[in-house]
Amino acid sequence: MSADRPLIGVLALQGDVREHTAALTAGGARVLPVRRESELSEVDGLVLPGGESTTMSRLLETFGLLAPLRARIADGMPAYGSCAGMILLAEKVLDGRPDQHQLGGLDLIVRRNAFGRQVDSFEADLDFAGVDGGPVHAVFIRAPWVESSSPAVRVLATVPETTAAGAAAGRIVAVRQGAVLATAFHPELTGDLRVHRLFVDIVRGHESGSRRTTEER
């Protein structure tokens, strides 16, 4: 890994891969599309993009990535999931398919398609802990929200308590647990690089910590 430009993978089986690739590159990372176990083994962190969570779950198994990815996340690899990626990283999902696979990494329960159908897409400005520069404009497209989380999960953003938010008001939509980050919304679609830069910094910090631990042994 280059300390300044970590190599971050984008799971490239389905979803908005190109948009995440552009945001990560602009945010200071080198990027590798990940479709094979050999590519997964090369990266310092991984983004799971928005898309269709049940399709991505099935493709992970088809491409032989399900077990290796679970193992790398359990071993501490930084991961960031947006929308469908948040669903995959959760320990449990509501309103999912019975055969849907979860990767773990976030000790929480999410509700799939909580914001409704495509026509119910919703936008809001969110106060986002750990990100400077004012509110983050969030685009929710058939998005999940967090139903509940353990104390180990840090809540980074919730939907504002407004009439326009409806049932989404106050819902948790951005979280972090250790080196795992997730948002229910799509920062890759807005041109705001702050969430991606936060993840690049998480990867840098994780790799620096790993090197220190190795040197101290």
Among residues 20, 101, 186, 206, which one is catalytic?
Answer: 186
Q: Answer yes or no: 137 catalytic.
A: no
Among residues 188, 196, 206, 207, which one is catalytic?
Answer: 188
Q: Answer yes or no: 188 catalytic.
A: yes
What torsion, rounded to 10 degrees, do the Cα atoms 22, 28, 29, 30 define? 80
Q: Answer yes or no: 186 catalytic.
A: yes
Among residues 83, 196, 206, 207, which one is catalytic?
Answer: 83
| CA–CA separation, 188 and 142 (whole Å) | 15
Helix/strand/coil (H, E, C) string of 23-85? Answer: HHHHCCCEEEEECCHHHHCCCCEEEECCCCHHHHHHHHHHCCCHHHHHHHHHCCCCEEEECHH
The total number of residues written for the chain in this structure? 217
User: Which residue type, as a one-letter code, is found at position 133?
Assistant: G
The residues carrying an active-site annotation are 83, 186, 188
